[in-house]
Chain A
Amino acid sequence: MASIEIQGVGKSYGAMPVLHHVDLSIQDGEFVVLIGPSGCGKSTLLRMIAGLEGITSGAIRIGGQVVNELAPKDRDIAMVFQSYALYPHMTVRDNMSYSLRLRGTPVERMTSVVSAAASKLGLDALLDRKPRTLSGGQRQRVAMGRSIVRQPKAFLFDEPLSNLDARLREQMRVEIKKLHRELGTTSIYVTHDQVEAMTLADRIVAMNGGVIQQVGTPLDLYERPTNLFVAGFIGSPAINILEGRLRCDGERRSVEIGSGERISTAPLAHGHDGQDVRVGIRPEDVQISPKADGGPTAHVELVEPMGLGTIVHIRATHHALKAFVLERVDYPVGTSISYELPASKLHIFDAMTGQRFPE
């Protein structure tokens, strides 16, 4: 087990930069999730930590030791691939013990470690089978088993669950979390799936275009996204973003949407009158009620029942909004509805830079 330090790391393929000056420090035992749109460089970063890609600039430390020039085999890390990368010509047992054999582990110890890992993952009955005879879920477990047998300094996961169906994914997610709690090994986990990210991570690293956008606990990212990208990327159903213009009226701040409608906001330290801004509000923070209670009104466009709750799409004169409510409402299309956007729940971003306004 070890901490991982990433300092000013950059990567280019030929002349094309893929990662720009990435700084990240991961504590010993931490579970960090990298999340971001396709092609943003998550896998590249992970593979650089593993030693599968060269480092163009900067330094990576594992356990305090610079590993830039170390071959993957000398870094003592384990990785679970999206494709699992099980060795097709070896049995499950041999797949799991391969790394131990390469290190010359004594046979008795190897047997006991492999069977311990196998029983932890429920693979006991499969040890003598070849990977091709296993189901997707079983293969995934073998890939996990292969990485836990040797107690590496860190686990790297590259979208390990994306080839599983939803049910199995949920189950494996829980198992990974349990395993991490039990072993306490530093882990870096790449995923597209934000439920995975929110549930597994101690900290989430949101990336876009080769740049880290925000690092923080899942709730940090959810409740205080530092920019428009993170706000839009995290959360499902996605956050509502409205275009508007900042209005300063003495100490009071409000945002004018379209021509006329005004939403008042919490006090802001910055911003000048007339500045273009974006206002974000999460669907569950939009409060709707069918009674006209004096607030602004809109009409229902679409109702999506989700089981857990309902998403109501409403349209006002200048903008559309999604509202998430826990009740099973069933408004007919066109119903007129009044809504409220509580000032404390608004996220205000500078339209030019996309950055959150400091409060």
Chain B
Amino acid sequence: MTTVPLYEESAHRKHTPWRRIMLAVEPYIYIAPSVLLITMIMLVPLVIGLSYAFRDIQLINPFSGGFIGLEHFRTLWTDAAFWHSMKNTLVWTFASVVLQFAFGLVLALLLNNPFPGRGIVQALVFLPWAVPTFLSGLNWAWLFNPVVGPLPHWMAALGILSAPENILSDPSLAMWGPIAANVWWGIPFFAITLLAALQSIPQDIYEAASIDGAGPWRRFTDITLPFLAPTIAITVLLRTVWIANFADLIIVMTNGGPADQTQIVSSYIFTQAFRRLDFGYASAVAMVLLILLLAYSFVIILLRQAMLKR
């Protein structure tokens, strides 16, 4: 017995390397299509796009294309329109995320407990998410248009506006138009994710807490919120980044106007690239935006880890 070598069957030795290799390679076969697609269609173009930031690329100028180093970034530093759009991005992102989150959380809580008709109500309140974004933009633009939309008239009747005018053409109010559309469209996203998280909280924890004497409010602050915290953190993070990048509504509703009052960085990139056809400068702005967003995510993740450690 002891002198028998471990692998005496030559028939099996033949199969040995093949199965080893198959086992090692198997996961990569499953992810290959995804990785290939993402690399070819997102990563490679991203790198090319980033390289434009250091080149002079203007579609209307056939002699452009040269390498110009940091020139675009120097221009950017003194570009008042860019700084203005940064400020607008903050307002746009912050207001949209906070409102979407607050409304979404309340909605998720309302939908969490069973009641007759919950299925239908849930389907209806989630419906805005299915509306194509450009169509939501158009739709809200029409609602704010005093000719065909009721909103200006109602707001005037309530005394919010002095006259039934289109807030989208009022520089001081215009930003609230796209924000309203964004909130309407984005509530379901938060509600869906938070509802899923709520439904995964084990019910017996609530029962234990009630027996321990916790009232509804205490149960919410002591159980629901801590359980939701990880979901909230990750959703808010992803959503903030996404909304900062999200220019569709603004482009459709106001196109950055009036007087650049609704121009955010990503719509500014769009304007530079497709109205001025200056791809080099657009890429430089995009690169700054990408770096800021990466930095933001990084800080948030670090904060989260610091909090988890505590």
Direct contact of A and B (CB under 8 A): yes
B203 in contact (CB, < 8 A): no
Question: Once the chains are docked, how many angstroms separate the CA of A290 from the CA of B16?
Answer: 69
B contact residues around A58 at 8 Å (CB): 6
Q: Are A65 and B9 in contact (CB under 8 A)?
A: yes
Residues of B within 8 A of A66 (CB): 6-9, 12
One of A8, A59, A65, A71 near B19 (C-beta < 8 A): A71
Tell me which residues from 80 to 121 in chain B have a Cβ below 8 Å from any Cβ of chain A. none
Mask of A7-40 contacts with B, CB within 8 angstroms, 1/0: 1100000000000000000000000000000000
A273 contacts the other chain (CB 8 A): no
Interface membership of A69, Cβ < 8 A: yes
| Bound Cα distance A16, B225 (Å) | 37
Residues from chain A with a CB closer than 8 A to the CB of B23 are: 54
Residues of B within 8 A of A7 (CB): 6
Query: How many Å from the CB of B287 to the closest CB on chain A?
Result: 39
Within B3-25, which residues are at the interface with A (CB < 8 Å)? 6-9, 12, 15-16, 19-20, 23
Residues of A within 8 A of B7 (CB): 59, 66, 68
Chain A proximity of B153: nearest CB distance (Å): 56
CA distance A8 to B4 in the complex (A): 13
Residues B6 and A59 in contact, CB atoms below 8 Å apart: yes
Chain B contacts of A70 at CB under 8 A?
12, 15, 19
Structural contact, B6 and A69, CB atoms closer than 8 A: no
CB neighbors of A among B22-52 (8 A): 23
Closest A residue, CB atoms, query B18:
A69
A26 to chain B, nearest CB (A): 14
Distance A65 CA – B12 CA, assembled complex (angstroms): 9
Query: Which residue from chain B places its CB closest to the CB of A58 in the assembled complex?
Result: B6
Indicate with 1 or 0, residue by residue over A124-159, a CB within 8 angstroms of chain B CB atoms.
000000000000000000000000000000000000
In the bound complex, how far is the Cα of B11 from the Cα of A65, in angstroms? 10
Cα distance, A65 to B19, chains bound together (Å): 16
Bound form: Cα–Cα A68–B15 in Å: 11
Interface flags for A44-81 (1: CB within 8 Å of B; 0: not) read: 00000000001000110000011011110000000000
User: How many chain A residues touch the partner (CB < 8 A)?
Assistant: 11
What's the Cα separation between A58 and B4 when bound, in Å? 13
A/B pair count, beta carbons within 8 Å: 24
Complexed CA–CA distance, A70 and B11 (Å): 12
**In whole Å, how far is B15's beta carbon from the nearest beta carbon of chain A?**
6
Q: Quick one: which of B145-179 are within 8 Å of A by CB?
A: none
Distance from B17 Cβ to chain A, minimum over Cβ atoms (Å) = 9
Q: Is the CB of B9 within 8 A of A69?
A: no
Q: How far is the CA of A70 from the CA of B18 in the complex (A)?
A: 11
- C-alpha spacing A71/B12, complex, angstroms: 12
B27 vs chain A, min Cβ distance (A): 14
In this complex, what residue of B is CB-closest to A5? Answer: B1
With a cutoff of 8 Å between Cβ atoms, the chain B residues found around residue A65 in the complex are 9, 12
Residue numbers in B under 8 Å from A8 (CB-CB): 6
A257 to chain B, nearest CB (A): 44
B22, closest chain A residue (CB)? A71
Q: How far is the CB of B9 from chain A (nearest CB, A)?
A: 6
The answer for the CA separation of A7 and B12 in the assembled complex, in Å, is 17
Q: Which residues of B have CB within 8 Å of A54?
A: 23
- CA gap between A180 and B301 in the complex, in Å: 57
- Which chain B residue shows the least CB distance to A57? B6
* Least distance between A4 CB and chain B CB atoms (Å): 15
Give the shortest distance, in Å, between B21 (CB) and chain A (any CB): 11
**Chain B residues with CB below 8 A from A69, complex form:** 12, 15-16, 19-20
How far apart are A3's CB and chain B's nearest CB, in angstroms?
12
Instruction: Provide the residues of chain A in CB contact with B12, threshold 8 Å.
Output: 65-66, 69-70
CB distance from A58 to the nearest CB of B (A): 7
CA distance A58 to B7 in the complex (A): 10
Expressed in whole angstroms, the Cα–Cα distance for A65 and B8 within the complex equals 9
Nearest B-chain residue to A8, judged by Cβ = B6
Instruction: Give the residue name and chain of the A residue nearest to B12 (CB).
Output: A66
Mark contacts of B260-279 with chain A using CB atoms, 8 A cut-off: 1 yes-contact digit, 0 otherwise. Answer: 00000000000000000000
- What separation, in Å, do the CA atoms of A7 and B16 have in the docked complex? 18
Assembled-state Cα–Cα distance A317/B277 (Å) = 97
Which of B6, B9, B20 has the largest number of chain A CB atoms within 10 A?
A: B6
Q: Report the minimal beta-carbon distance from B29 to chain A, rounded to whole angstroms.
A: 15
Contacts of A59 in B (CB 8 A): 6-7
User: Complex Cα distance A8/B12, Å?
Assistant: 19
Give the CA-CA distance A70 to B16 in the complex, in Å.
8
| Minimum CB–CB distance for B230 against chain A, Å | 26
Complex CA gap A8/B20 in Å reads: 20
| A93 CB, nearest partner CB in chain B, Å | 32
Provide the residues of chain A in CB contact with B20, threshold 8 Å.
Answer: 69
CB distance from A34 to the nearest CB of B (A): 22
> In the complex, how many angstroms separate the beta carbon of B278 from the nearest chain A beta carbon?
52
A71 cross-chain contacts in B, Cβ below 8 A? 19
Query: B6 contacts which chain A residues (CB < 8 A)?
Result: 7-8, 58-59, 66
User: What are 14 A-B pairs at a CB distance below 8 A?
Assistant: A7-B6, A8-B6, A58-B6, A59-B6, A59-B7, A66-B8, A66-B9, A66-B12, A68-B7, A68-B16, A69-B15, A69-B20, A70-B19, A71-B19
Q: List the 10 closest pairs (A to B, CB-CB), nearest first.
A: A69-B19, A59-B6, A69-B16, A66-B9, A66-B12, A66-B7, A69-B15, A65-B9, A69-B12, A69-B20
Which A residues form the contact surface with B (CB < 8 A)?
A: 7-8, 54, 58-59, 65-66, 68-71
New A-B contacts (11) at CB < 8 Å, excluding given A8-B6, A59-B7, A71-B19: A54-B23, A58-B6, A59-B6, A66-B8, A66-B12, A68-B16, A69-B12, A69-B15, A69-B20, A70-B15, A70-B19
